[in-house]
Amino acid sequence: MATLTKPQAKSAFTPSLVLLLSMIWALAIAVYSIYLAWRIFNAEAFDVRESLGNTVQYFFGFLSLVPAVLGIFSALGFALLITNPERLNLYQRIADHELPPAQGIDRIPLLGRYVFLGLNYLGTVLSAFYLLHLWDVFIGLDEVAEAIYENRVLLWGLVGAYLLFWLSGKIIRLQRTLELIALAVGSISFILLLLFSGVHEALIYIAGQYDSLIVWIVTAVVIIFGIFTYNALQMGRTFGETPEQSIGWQGWMLVSPNVIGFGLFLAGPLLLSFYLSFTNAKVGQVPKFNGLENYTTIFSLQLREQKPEHQYPIEALDSDYSIVHTYKLGNTRYVLGARDARFWLSLENTLQFCLMLVPLATIPAIGLAVVLNSQLPGVKFYRALYFLPSVAAVVGTALIWRTALYSSQIGYLNYAIEQIINATNAIFGTDIENPQFGWLIDSRLQLFSVVLLTAWQIIGFNTVLFLAGLQGIPNALYEAASVDGASRWQQFRHITLPLLAPTTFFVVVTTIINALQVFNEPYVLYSREQQVPDTVATAVYHLYLKAFQSTSGNELGAASGFGYASAVAWVLFALIFSVTLLQFRVSRSGEER
C-alpha cells in the first residue's frame, strides 16, 4: 500500500551528496566542540560576571566534549553508508516494506543519524537562543511591556473582545454576530497595539544589531543547523527507518521543550545547588570547595550544663556557638547551643507552624465538606465562595489582615472580641476584662497570627479535596446505617472518618509540605519592619536572609552566602522529601490492600 501511494522523493541532491555534506558538518561540530572545550579548560575567568569556580569550569569543559564524541560517531555512521552504496539501496527497500526490517541493518548508521538529528536539533535551539540573546529579545521584553503600558487604552479592546466571547456563549441567538464583533474588536485592538507599540522600531533595532560580525555568524549557524535538522528529519528512508522508529523521534521532538526546560531550569540548577552546598560561594568571591563544612556548621549542636562559674548561659558554650534554648532540670540549667542558632530557631518555628496549621486547616475543612456534601441546590455556589480566599494573593490578604483585622486599635478581630465580651458581661453579669490582643506585637501571639492567616487561606482548598474524598464514599453505607438507627454523629464517626482517612492523610501531608516552605505570610505581615521578628522567622526566611541579605547583620556566628544557603536548602529539601516519601509509601500500601 504505502509503496504504491508514496511517490519516490526526488531530491536536488543525490543521497550520497547529502550524506557527504552531513558527515562534513558532523565533523565540523566535533572539531568546534573540541576547540570550545580547549578554550574552556584554558580560560582564566570562566564566567565574565561571577565565577562559579573551577569545578563548574571543568564540568562545562567535559560537557562540551560530549558533542565532539557524538559528532565523530555520527560521521562514522555516514561514512559507512557513503563507502557502501549497496546499503542505501537495501535500506530504501526496507523502508518501503519490501524487506523485513530486522535483516541486515547496521545499527551504527541508524543510531548515527539519530545522534546527528539530536545534535543538530539541540544546536538549532541553542544557537537560536543565542541569536535571540544577541538581538536583545529577552531583555527587550521589558520594552514590550513598556509599549503595552504606553498604549494600555487598547487593552480594553482585548478585554471587551473577551467579554463579548464570553457573552456569545450565553446568548445562543446572537452567538454568531457577537463572535464576529468580538473577533473584529479583538484583532483590531491587537493590530493597533502592535502598530503603536513599535514593532517596526523593534525590527529596525534588530537590523541594527547586524553591524557586528558575531550576529552574522550566529545567524548563519542557526540556518545551517536548521537545514541539517530538517534534512535529517527527511532522511528516514535513506536509513531504512520503520514507521515505529519514526514515531520515536517524533515523540522525542514533542517532549523536547519539556526536556530542555527540565535540564535548564531543574536538573541543571539542582546539580549546581548541590555543588554550591559544598563550597563557600559568596557574592564577589570565587567559590572554593570546603567539603562538608557547611553541613557541619548547620548540624553543630551543643548541650552543656551551666556551671556555677558561668555567670551567663552563653559562657557554657564554645566560643562560636550561640544559644538556642536553655532548660532547667531540677537545680541545674542546661544550655542548648548551635553554631547557626537562628537556623534551629527558624526550624523550630516552622515545625510549630506546621503543628498549629494542620488542625486549623483540616478540621474546619472536614466539617465544611461534610455540610457541603449534599445534593441541595446552591451548594456548588457555596463551594466556590469558600474557595475564594485560596485564589487571592498572599501579599494582598496579608496586608488586609494586617491593617483591617490584626491591628490592635482599629482591627476587627479585637473589635469582635470586645463586642462578644461586652455582650457576655451584659448578659451573664460577669466581669471579663477586654484582653486587647496585640496580634502582631505580642511575641506569644505572633506565630499564631501567621498560622491563622494561612489556615484561612487554605481551608477552602482543603474543603474541595475533602469533598472529592466524600463523594467516593458509597451512599448505601449511610442508608444501611440509618436503617440500623445510627445517629448522624455515629455515622460521621464510624463511616465518614474511617473512609475519609486516605484523603485526610493526603491533605495533611500536602499541608505539611507547603507549611515547611512558608515564607510569604510572615514576610508580608512584617514587611514594615526591618526584619521579621525571631518568633515567626521561618526556615525559608532564614535561607532567604543567608543567601540574599547576608550583609544585613543576620550573621550570628555562622557562615552565610550562596554556598551556605544551598546547604540549608538541601537540609530543608531532605526534610520535605522525607514527608513526601512517607506519603508515597502509605498511599502505595493503601492501594495494595
Partner 1 sequence: MQKRTLSQKLSFWAERGLLYTLLTTVALLMLFPLIYMVIASLKTTVDFNSNPRRLLPYTHVTEALAGRQEVPVYEFSVNDEEKRYLISQIDANNSDKSDFAYLGEVADLEAKVKLGSHAEQRRNIDVLGIIPIAYRNEEGQKIRIEDQTLTLIPTENIVQLAGNNSIFENFRVYDVFIDGELVQTWLDSIDQPVPLKAYMLPTIAEAGEELTIKVSEPITLLDARDSDRDYDSVIVSSPTQETTLVWAYNASIDVFLDQENPQNVIYAIESFVKPVEVIEFQFSNYEAVLGLADEPSLRMDRALVNTAFVTILVTIGQITTSLFGGYAFSRMRFRGRDTLFLVYLGSIMVPFVVLIVPIYRLMTALGWEDHLVSLIVPWIFTAYGTFLIRQFFITIPKELEEAALLDGCGRLRILWRIFIPLSTPALATHAIFTFLYAWNSFLWPLIIINTGNKEDQVLTLALITLGNINADKPNIVMTGAAVMILPPMIVFILAQRYFIEGIATSGLKG
- Measured in residues, the chain has a length of 593
Nearer to partner 1, 157 or 337 (CB): 157
Cβ 269 to partner 1 shortest distance, Å: 4
Site for partner 1 (CB under 8 A): which residue of 238, 350, 397, 560? Answer: 397
Residue with cell 541553542: 126
Residue with cell 474546619: 364
DSSP letter assigned to residue 333: E
Mapped onto helix, strand or coil, the DSSP state of residue 337 is strand
Stretch that binds partner 1, among 37-45, 182-190, 313-321, 524-532 (CB under 8 A): 524-532
- Examine residue 410 and tell whether it contacts partner 1 (CB under 8 A): yes
Q: Are 358 and 520 in contact (CB under 8 A)?
A: no
Nearer to partner 1, 180 or 385 (CB): 385
Residues with Cβ within 8 Å of 592's Cβ and at least 6 positions away in sequence, in order, are none
Tell me how far CA of residue 100 lies from CA of 76, 85, 92, 103, 437, in angstroms.
25, 19, 11, 6, 83
Round to whole Å and give the CA distance between 106 and 111. 9
Residues with Cβ within 8 Å of 536's Cβ and at least 6 positions away in sequence, in order, are 349, 446, 447, 450, 522, 525, 526
Cβ 529 to partner 1 shortest distance, Å: 10
- Examine residue 13 and tell whether it contacts partner 1 (CB under 8 A): no
Which residues, 33 to 62, sit near partner 1 by CB under 8 A?
Answer: 47, 49-50, 52
- Examine residue 460 and tell whether it contacts partner 1 (CB under 8 A): yes
Cβ 564 to partner 1 shortest distance, Å: 10
Which residues, 122 to 141, sit near partner 1 by CB under 8 A?
Answer: 133, 138-139, 141
Cβ 443 to partner 1 shortest distance, Å: 17
Round to whole Å and give the CA distance between 569 and 564. 9
Q: Are 321 and 337 in contact (CB under 8 A)?
A: yes
- Examine residue 464 and tell whether it contacts partner 1 (CB under 8 A): yes
Round to whole Å and give the CA distance between 68 and 35. 10
Beta bridge partners of 334: 305, 327
Cβ 561 to partner 1 shortest distance, Å: 10
Q: Could you tell me where the beta strands, DSSP code E, fall in 175-261?
A: none
Nearer to partner 1, 328 or 528 (CB): 528
Nearer to partner 1, 34 or 286 (CB): 286
Binding-site string for partner 1 from residue 172 to residue 211, where x marks contact by CB under 8 A and - marks none: ----------------------------------------
Site for partner 1 (CB under 8 A): which residue of 152, 176, 288, 493? Answer: 152
| Cβ neighbours of 262 (radius 10 Å) | 12
Nearer to partner 1, 222 or 459 (CB): 459
Nearer to partner 1, 313 or 389 (CB): 389
Site for partner 1 (CB under 8 A): which residue of 62, 166, 210, 327? Answer: 166
Round to whole Å and give the CA distance between 437 and 440. 9
Stretch that binds partner 1, among 69-77, 351-359, 372-380, 490-498 (CB under 8 A): 372-380
CA dihedral sign, ordered 343, 347, 353, 354 = positive
Site for partner 1 (CB under 8 A): which residue of 3, 84, 527, 552? Answer: 527
- Examine residue 471 and tell whether it contacts partner 1 (CB under 8 A): yes
Q: Are 440 and 406 in contact (CB under 8 A)?
A: yes
Cβ 72 to partner 1 shortest distance, Å: 22
Using only C-alpha atoms, the chain has a radius of gyration, in whole angstroms, of 33
Residues with Cβ within 8 Å of 190's Cβ and at least 6 positions away in sequence, in order, are 157, 158
Site for partner 1 (CB under 8 A): which residue of 24, 204, 220, 391? Answer: 391
Site for partner 1 (CB under 8 A): which residue of 520, 532, 545, 559? Answer: 520
Mapped onto helix, strand or coil, the DSSP state of residue 265 is helix
Stretch that binds partner 1, among 87-95, 120-128, 196-204, 571-579 (CB under 8 A): 571-579
Round to whole Å and give the CA distance between 304 and 326. 9
- Examine residue 558 and tell whether it contacts partner 1 (CB under 8 A): no
- Examine residue 510 and tell whether it contacts partner 1 (CB under 8 A): yes
- Examine residue 425 and tell whether it contacts partner 1 (CB under 8 A): no
Round to whole Å and give the CA distance between 377 and 354. 36
**The dihedral formed by the CA atoms of 221, 224, 229 and 231, expressed in degrees to the nearest 10:** 180
| Cβ neighbours of 12 (radius 10 Å) | 6
Cell numbers linked to 492: 460521621
Cβ 19 to partner 1 shortest distance, Å: 24
Nearer to partner 1, 27 or 182 (CB): 182
- Examine residue 289 and tell whether it contacts partner 1 (CB under 8 A): no
Which of 87, 85, 146, 76 is CA-nearest to residue 113? Answer: 76
- Examine residue 142 and tell whether it contacts partner 1 (CB under 8 A): yes
Cell numbers linked to 261: 526546560
Cβ 515 to partner 1 shortest distance, Å: 12
- Examine residue 513 and tell whether it contacts partner 1 (CB under 8 A): yes
Which residues, 238 to 267, sit near partner 1 by CB under 8 A?
Answer: 244, 247-252, 254-255, 257-262, 264-267
